[in-house]
Chain A
């Protein structure tokens, strides 16, 4: 199984957190790192998108969004009936799992680059698009029967929050500039990408360590949910990617997008739109279990699944 060494920085962060080391990444540096990652991923996508006729993306985009919307819709009844969770918690967790994680996606891209496997650069468009419907569905599920949500606030949080703004902004800039125009920025945004990702993963490890301590209180259900959901979603993504005729790399990225759970955009949006939901549950599951599962085991498995399916022909 292929392995991307950059994930070891996450382990170092977890270790530092567990032994209560005085290592801290200052908040402003963390902010800067996340701005860098979002922009770099957006630019990368934009440059590749510029080489592709946009009209051809319409049908795949609609299909990918429709299947993506199934994830929170299927997760909600499982959480509610099997997990016996409150309506608010079920909706909020469903939204986290329907939404996507930029860092998980970045680790998958890093693995593909290391293994020299080509992928469709426009997958990054779906990274932007998939963030939105799951959050809306989650809020509707969580709040049905309990009055109207503050839709204006939610829309503002989702559309103009920094993740979507920087991803979409980078995408547009990369698209307008093209590969030649963006060359002077290559050193900063593309060559340094892995190094910055490593620092970001170190910080993620520190934060996750704080969540791992609380894992015992989540119960067997949530822990299993946080591992089984990404696997099932990834199978959905692999099949769809294969049917759409994506390359091995693109299929694996789609599986990773479906499998990943948001822990930056979704928590902030849910805290505002579904205040009754307990953020410790959703962030704990997404960041404490699903994120490490995906970067260590999930992504190599999704790559294997894509290669396996493609060995039958595209």
Chain B
């Protein structure tokens, strides 16, 4: 079995941005993504996930470090100021 070092990028943001963020991510060259609904609390207040506008999503992307860097920079400059946005990366081993 060969495992391959990759970067996992997790983005937590507002549900209302889902379609827009996905367009951005795919345009920047990601091959795919996984989205789950999320709830929580942050500097933008409690997001209970009750209403579309009150919900969060969690997007996971696995890619090379350069791709993740591009996505982070693009989202930071375009959305961080006005929307709830949390991004973090972790090194992962891709197994297939």
Contacts and interface: CB of A to CB of B under 8 A. Distances in A.
Contacts, number: 32
Nearest to B53: A267
A131 to B, nearest CB: 16
Contact of B45 (A267, A275, A276, A280): A280
A283 B50 contact: no
Q: Which of B45, B48, B51, B82 has the most CB of A within 10 A?
A: B51
A268 B52 contact: yes
A289 to B, nearest CB: 17
A27 B14 contact: no
A283 B83 CA distance: 16
Chain A residues touching B, range: 10 to 19
Interface string B36-53: 010000000110111111
Given A271-B14, A272-B20, A283 B53 contact: yes
16 contacts: A27-B37, A27-B49, A153-B20, A203-B50, A206-B50, A207-B51, A210-B48, A264-B52, A268-B16, A268-B53, A271-B14, A272-B17, A275-B83, A276-B82, A279-B53, A280-B45
Contacts of A207: 50-51, 54
Interface residues of B, number: 17
A206 B51 CA distance: 12
A279 B82 CA distance: 11
Contacts of A267: 51, 53
